[in-house]
Amino acid sequence: MLKITNLHVTVADTPILKGLTLAINAGEVHAIMGPNGSGKSTLAAVLAGRAGYEVTAGGIEYLGRDLLALTVEERARAGVFLAFQYPVEIPGVSNMEFLRASLEAVRSHRGEPNLSAVEFMKLARATSQQLQLDPEFLKRGVNEGFSGGEKKRNEILQMLLLQPRLAVLDETDSGLDIDALQVVADGVNALRSPERAIVMVTHYQRLLDHVVPDYVHVLADGRILRSGGRELALELEAKGYGWLRNDAA
Amino acid sequence: MAGFATTRPESGVVTMKRSERIEIFAHTARTRSESFPTDTGVLGRLRAAGRAAFSAAELPNPKTESWKYSRIGPLLEEGLLDHAPVGAAVAAMPIPGLATQSMVILDGIPQSLPAFTPGVSVTSFAALTDAEAVVVEAHLGRLAAAPEKPFVALNAALLEDGLVVRVAPGADAALPIELLIAQSDSSTPRGVHPRVLVLVGQGARATLIERHLGTAMAFTNSVVEVVLEDGAQLDHLRLALDAGHGRWLSALDVELGRNARYNLWQAQLGAAFRRNEIRIGLAGEGAEVTVSGAGLTRNNDHLDNQLCLEHRVPRGTSKQLFRNIAGETSRGILNGRIHIHRGAQKTDAQLHTKSLLLSSRAEIDVKPELEIYADDVKCAHGATLGQLDANALFYLRSRGLDANAARSMLSFAFLAEVVDGFPVDAVRAALRPALAQAFAAPAEEESP
């Protein structure tokens, strides 16, 4: 589904990713771990198409297409979803209005009919409840005055509504208490299916207790330093990132 | 009449200097005013006063401070002082779900009036009895008379007829009063001079919805005067949602008595020329004023709001909130003057404005002007100017919205703080699609 080959990315002329290669198949859940500054969030940003990230070499193929040739919204419509590490507050746009416009954009691209206002309300309310978000949040400004945990749950709400093919979760576990973590993890697990891939970018392995990955990759200094199964995350937790660096050296 | 050169220099025709065009405009206006009878009645006396004031007044020149950012050129083009026969009325798009009692001024001429609810009366100047004339003339022209307002004088000098709206003391006019200042379907350039006086009696309450309608190249030079007696309250909504070729110059003069309340809401699109000269005088202690304005200009449109709050007496409050957006090569102007007179202690005056530029070639000029002659007052102002937040744009696009839809949504959100405060539900509901449409309209091709 996703083939990243020898990806080099610079931000403001500073090289961040330096030859990252990674293949992700439909149905798989991958965790990308690594110390701060290793390039995890850069990878997430490049996948979603954020401005300011320059790809200087290598490429990304998504469902057989050149992902980098697509605009931000084309990627979203083609099924790429980024759950933001820092979801943006947009006062004046209601969450409901935002979710509906977004769902309409994605559905119409897929050739699916628009939901009626009533159908949409039902779906949005049911999904909110699944995430233990008060449906009142739908009426508020997008992320406006939401707590950190509420913002993250709102990201998962969007993900569940949009039903992406490739979900990239950027530090979705940060700032969550243990109950919220369970709710978010349940949401992510609900999305697991043979047609989808999920990439979790995380600093800690605690989310991985709840969403068990098929593969774990350690990113350091802009490259995949090591790949393995679930046990690699546990080993990292026990030994720290220093262990791998020394090992590699 | 001498012709005006409106052709561009590259066509080979020598363009007339602006000072010459102004002179011709003034001369034409004076000549035209002489054809209006000034011998009898309210109308005659108002025209005579207007004619004298216009002759004495000086039209704005490039050095006139209050016209610094407003180009007078669009008002000087050929035919804008002519009076064309009234064409057919264009059906005003009713606001869905809004029940009102309406008066219509079509091409400057008041149309026949419907019956109004008890406590509300509307009369044309020409139909006033002598007794009524005495009451009306105590106010008419008093507020709008100012040497620095030559166009207000011109309105009086070229007045066909006007309307006086009276809300009886103590009356609570629950049904909003709608004032439609509309262009007919005629495409002939013309100048029209609508005039309305609104008298809200002691302790009375009313809602006035003033709509400016039309896109044709006509000069609409309106004057609305509002007098709120002690304890009166008026919610005044002004909607100007037709962009286009219209030249709209609107004077609004308001005076508040003791403990009176005046709330003004404006939602406006730019036009070839649109300028509001708003003066609100707090003449009785404890008067309260709020002004909320949402403005959007696109293409090469122009929107100028000149406000002057006159705090004449103690314990008055005024709160002003503006949101302006300018796209393409358009221009938005906001001049907010707060004048706190000697002795107007315990005044609380605030002016807050935020502006958004959608294009590097758009321009917004914001100027707060505070003039304070009392030492125990609160007076605050704040102005910010910015662009759409790149993070928010990315966030919306990452959820599948195309760049234009994302920009519209964010721009609308910027205006929402003002628009969501509009007091009439049906108007608020109608503003959303109207503004969304204005955002969504593609930019006009720029002329080379």
Interface pTM (ipTM) of the complex?
0.96
pLDDT over 90, % of chain B: 77
Whether A112 has its CB under 8 Å from any CB of chain B: the answer is no
State the average pLDDT for chain A.
92
Whether A84 has its CB under 8 Å from any CB of chain B: the answer is yes
Residues B398-424 have pLDDT tens digits of 999 999 889 889 998 999 889 999 999
CB contact under 8 Å between A76 and B399, yes or no, is: yes
pLDDT higher than 60, residue B4: no
Residues A7-33 have pLDDT tens digits of 999 999 999 999 999 999 999 999 999
Give the pLDDT score at A233.
87
CB contact under 8 Å between A49 and B398, yes or no, is: yes
Q: In terms of pLDDT, which residue wins out, A123 or B446?
A: A123
Cβ contacts (< 8 Å) between A73 and chain B: which residues? 397-398, 400-403, 406
Give the pLDDT score at A13.
93
CB contact under 8 Å between B394 and A50, yes or no, is: yes
| A contact test, residue of B397, B402, B407, B431 with most A CBs within 10 A | B397
pLDDT over 90, % of chain A: 78
Instruction: Give the chain A residue whose CA is nearest to the CA of B392.
Output: A88
Distance CA A201, CA A222 (A): 14
A:138-197 residues touching chain B, CB 8 A cutoff: 141, 158, 162
Which one of A48, A90, A92 has the shortest CB-CB distance to B398? A48
Cβ contacts (< 8 Å) between B414 and chain A: which residues? 92
The sheet carrying A2-11 orders its strands as A14-24, A2-11, A53-62, A65-66
Residues A111-127 have pLDDT tens digits of 999 899 999 999 999 99
Give the pLDDT score at B92.
67
CB contact under 8 Å between B413 and A88, yes or no, is: no
CB contact under 8 Å between A101 and B409, yes or no, is: yes
The amino acid occupying position B347 is T
pLDDT higher than 50, residue B279: yes
Which one of A48, A88, A97 has the shortest CB-CB distance to B392? A88
The DSSP line for B206-259 is EEEEEEEE--SSEEEEEEEEEEE-TT-EEEEEEEE---SS-EEEEEEEEEE-TT
pLDDT higher than 70, residue B1: no
What count of Cα atoms within 13 Å lies in the side-chain half-sphere of residue B406?
21
Which one of B389, B398, B416 has the shortest CB-CB distance to A72? B398
Instruction: Give the chain B residue whose CA is nearest to the CA of A88.
Output: B392
Residues B185-219 have pLDDT tens digits of 888 999 999 999 999 999 999 999 999 999 999 99
Instruction: Give the chain A residue whose CA is nearest to the CA of B415.
Output: A92
Instruction: Give the chain A residue whose CA is nearest to the CA of B418.
Output: A92
Backbone φ and ψ for A112, nearest 5 degrees, come out as -95, 145
CB contact under 8 Å between A93 and B409, yes or no, is: yes
CB contact under 8 Å between A105 and B402, yes or no, is: yes
Distance CA A71, CA B402 (A): 9
The DSSP line for B283-326 is -STT-EEEEEEEEEE-TT-EEEEEEEEEE-SSS-EEEEEEEEEE
Residue A59's pLDDT band, with cuts at 50, 70 and 90, is: very high
CB contact under 8 Å between B394 and A73, yes or no, is: no
Distance CA B194, CA B45 (A): 17
- Cβ atoms of B282 and B310 within 8 Å: the answer is yes
| A contact test, residue of B321, B387, B391, B395 with most A CBs within 10 A | B395
CB contact under 8 Å between B398 and A98, yes or no, is: no
Which DSSP symbol is given to B271? B
The mean per-residue pLDDT over the stretch A157-184 comes to: 92
Q: What angle do CA A39, A44, A48 make, to 5 degrees?
A: 140
Give the pLDDT score at B446.
53
Give the pLDDT score at A175.
82
Give the pLDDT score at B13.
52
**A with B: how many residue pairs have Cβ under 8 Å apart?**
76
| B contact test, residue of A50, A53, A70, A73 with most B CBs within 10 A | A73
CB contact under 8 Å between B401 and A90, yes or no, is: no
Strands B247-256 and A80-83, by their bridges, are unpaired
The mean per-residue pLDDT over the stretch A219-243 comes to: 88
Residue B93's pLDDT band, with cuts at 50, 70 and 90, is: confident
Residue B264's pLDDT band, with cuts at 50, 70 and 90, is: very high
| Cα Rg of chain A, angstroms | 18
Cβ contacts (< 8 Å) between A164 and chain B: which residues? none
Give the pLDDT score at A85.
93
pLDDT over 70, % of chain B: 95
CB contact under 8 Å between B394 and A97, yes or no, is: no
Cβ contacts (< 8 Å) between A144 and chain B: which residues? none
Whether A50 has its CB under 8 Å from any CB of chain B: the answer is yes
CB contact under 8 Å between B400 and A92, yes or no, is: no
Q: In terms of pLDDT, which residue wins out, B438 or A72?
A: A72
Backbone φ and ψ for A129, nearest 5 degrees, come out as -65, -40
Distance CA A126, CA A107 (A): 19
What count of Cα atoms within 13 Å lies in the side-chain half-sphere of residue B63?
2
Strands A197-202 and B163-167, by their bridges, are unpaired
Residues A124-147 have pLDDT tens digits of 999 999 999 998 889 999 999 999
CB contact under 8 Å between B401 and A97, yes or no, is: no
The mean per-residue pLDDT over the stretch B317-326 comes to: 97
Distance CA A95, CA A75 (A): 22
The mean per-residue pLDDT over the stretch A76-93 comes to: 95
Give the pLDDT score at A248.
54
Instruction: Give the chain B residue whose CA is nearest to the CA of A164.
Output: B399
Give the pLDDT score at B8.
47
Which one of A50, A109, A158 has the shortest CB-CB distance to B399? A158
Cβ contacts (< 8 Å) between A105 and chain B: which residues? 399-402, 405
| B contact test, residue of A47, A74, A93, A166 with most B CBs within 10 A | A93
Which DSSP symbol is given to B69? S
Q: Which of A216, A196, A202 is nearest to A152 (CA)?
A: A202
pLDDT higher than 80, residue B3: no
| Cα Rg of chain B, angstroms | 22
Q: In terms of pLDDT, which residue wins out, A79 or A177?
A: A79
CB contact under 8 Å between B401 and A71, yes or no, is: no
Distance CA A59, CA B119 (A): 75
Distances (CA, A) of B9 to B6, B13, B301: 9, 6, 22
Residues B158-170 have pLDDT tens digits of 999 999 999 999 9
Distance CA B416, CA B428 (A): 10
